[in-house]
Amino acid sequence: MAKLKGPLLSMDARGQIGKSLVFMGWKGLKTVRSHVVPANPNTGAQSTQRGVMTTVVAAWHAITRNDMDLAGLNLAASLMVKTMSGFNYFCKAAIDAIVAGLTPLYPSAFAEVTNTGGTYAFTFDGNTGVAGHFLWGYKPTVLGTSVALTGGGVADFAGTIAGLTAGDYIYIKPVSDDADTVFVAPIYKVLVAA
């Protein structure tokens, strides 16, 4: 890339000339470089990966999420090594599942049913046809307690946690019990009420 002063007898030049040179601005400098045609080999593996990405993005758009679901996806994303959004976390987790030969399932519509007297009960939309459980804990990185979910199939899942202390935050993550499926699940953060 060459730096220029007065490119093409002008103060500024931008764009390409005859598919050979490209004039542009870069970090406040006037520059020129050779025209490069991006590679697009369109191999079978690349086409497969593009198909997987298309499927995952379509799944993102097809699911109705509430504010708890979106906050939960963003929380799960914040725990990743690389910085990413909830959408990126969703796509990465779903693509990883598909590449591993698993079927990704997408819990959504998390709703509080009971939050009183140290008991927290909730539901979320399964529409999966599989059984599941949930992990919970007092830190999003330490979800050590496993509790079975009721429902499932095409009905809503339901879960209950008892013996909680009012004012504590708890974190909940749904998990599939089926070896061939994985929940691309948010980590829900809830405040235990008095």
Decide if 96 is inside a domain. yes
State how far the Cα of 157 lies from the Cα of 108, in Å rounded to an integer: 10
Q: Residue 143 sits in which domain range? A: 49-191
HSE-CB for 120 with a 13 A CA cutoff: 24
Residue 98: give its domain's CATH number. 2.60.40.10
3-state DSSP call for residue 58?
helix
3-state DSSP call for residue 10?
coil
Q: In the prediction, which pLDDT does 76 show?
A: 96
Q: In the prediction, which pLDDT does 161 show?
A: 93
CA 20 to chain centre: 41
Decide if 43 is inside a domain. no
Q: In the prediction, which pLDDT does 6 show?
A: 60
Six token digits for residue 91: 């796509």
Decide if 187 is inside a domain. yes
Q: 15 and 98: one domain? A: no
- Written as tens digits, the pLDDT of the chain (194 aa) is 555 566 665 667 777 778 878 887 777 777 888 878 888 888 988 999 999 999 999 999 999 899 999 999 999 999 999 989 999 999 999 999 999 999 999 988 899 999 998 999 998 887 666 888 899 999 999 998 888 888 765 568 889 999 999 999 999 999 988 899 999 999 999 999 97
Q: Say what angle helices 86-99 and 44-62 make with each other, to 10 degrees.
A: 130
Whether the Cβ atoms of residue 185 and residue 176 lie closer than 8 Å to each other: no
